[in-house]
Amino acid sequence: MAQGICFEDLKLGDTASTGKTITEADVLLFSAVSSDTNPVHLNAEAAAASVFKHRVAHGMLTAGLISAVLGTRLPGPGSIYLSQTLQFRAPVAIGDTVTATVEVTGLDTERKRATLRTICTVAGRTVIDGEAVVIPPVRG
């Protein structure tokens, strides 16, 4: 199994990103897996009457891209996700391309934990921001 970046090799300011265009299938599958069948995600007529005026992707579907970066890129495989704060700033529409980026902002050498700023953007506009704490792989 591939191992991610070890705690000892992380540096403040390290960043990594991933991008994904949110599709109709993504929204339908996430709805099925999560049991979140809120009509604002699934029903165009109901969504048109909402504050958004159109269907939007689930916030947690978008936030899941942060997990993808943490688990596959920085720190990567072997990392343990401990906590995450999220502030939803703007909706994500079906067809939007979301970029999730993480940046190492803190390193706790005693506990071997990393703090990372987490942000999701669409065309440069912030849609989610927050902070994650992870246990990266440790050289053993």
All structural domains of the chain: 7-22+62-135 (3.10.129.10)
Position 3 confidence tier, pLDDT thresholds 50, 70, 90: confident
Residues 104 and 10 sit within 8 Å (Cβ to Cβ)? yes
Q: Is 117 helix (H, G, I), strand (E, B) or coil?
A: strand
Q: What is the DSSP letter of 77?
A: T
pLDDT of 139 reads: 84
Q: Burial, 125: exposed, middle or buried (Cβ in 10 Å; 0-12, 13-18, 19+)?
A: exposed
Nearest-angstrom CA–CA distance, 98 and 62 = 7
| pTM given for the model | 0.94
Nearest-angstrom CA–CA distance, 82 and 33 = 22
Segment 89-94 shows an average pLDDT of: 97
pLDDT of 64 reads: 97
Position 1 confidence tier, pLDDT thresholds 50, 70, 90: low
DSSP-derived pairing of the beta strands 15-21 and 97-108: antiparallel
Segment 74-103 shows an average pLDDT of: 98
- At 74, list the tokens: 């920085």
